[in-house]
Amino acid sequence: MDDDAPGRILRWNLFIGGHLSSSVPVRLVERTEAGRLVWLETGTPMWRTELPGGAHLRDIPPQDRPAGGYAVRADRWPMGSALILQPAGAGHAVFWFFGRRHRFRGWYVNLEHRVRRGEDIDVVDQELDITVAPDRTWRWKDERSFAEKTGHPAYWSAGEAVAIRSEGERVARLAESGAFPFDGTWCDFRPPRRWRTPPLPPRPGRTVL
């Protein structure tokens, strides 16, 4: 299949502090010079890091994690379906989240660094995020956790933290002005009927960056 063919299955791998948190198959919607759009269907079979006591990876200090990473277990994507915009060269992604009957629920801005490796899209999460309601009001998310991780060698330096927040501020201004991607584009997106929920992909070959 053509690398940019709509419907191609890719793997969206989320890393937190250098360790894999989840690996989910997504379908390519389109790829242009401006970036990549992928579709993530609710209930999609996925791999998730198996952690003790139901903890979340972001709450476990990197020095307390096994050097080789945690084992992963099969699971399903628990959140709503999402269309994900990954702008070329940008330090963020924008999610359009959809609920029941495919009703648009709002946008989510994930501040991140990502690298494409074949069928893998490796996303390094930068903790600080933004939620944007359908009326385009917005708020920061995880500010305290972002501040606590700043300066740790597994995360980002104080200087990098300034750049990450600046990236978020830039995207927030787009929301305030109703500019793309917050102008109503893609809010009525429906995946083609021929697209089936992707199967569980092979177990991730690596769990540490």
Token reading at 55:
């903890």
For 7-37, what is each residue's pLDDT tens digit? 999 999 999 999 999 999 999 999 999 999 9
**What is the average pLDDT value for the chain, to the nearest integer?**
96
Instruction: Please answer whether residues 12 and 54 qualify as being in contact, where contact means their C-beta atoms are separated by less than 8 angstroms.
Output: no
Q: Which domains does the chain have, with CATH numbers?
A: 9-177 (2.40.380.10)
Residue 112 scores a pLDDT above 90: yes
The share of the chain scoring above pLDDT 70, in percent, equals 99
For 128-182, what is each residue's pLDDT tens digit? 999 999 999 999 999 999 999 999 999 999 999 999 999 999 999 999 999 999 9
The closest alpha carbon to 17, from 145, 137, 196, belongs to: 145
Residue 2 scores a pLDDT above 70: no
Which of helix, strand or coil describes residue 51?
coil
CA distance 182 to 124: 24
36 forms beta bridges with 31, 86
The pTM (predicted TM-score) of the whole model is 0.96
| pLDDT score recorded for residue 3 | 74
Q: What are phi and psi of 62, to 5 degrees?
A: -55, -35
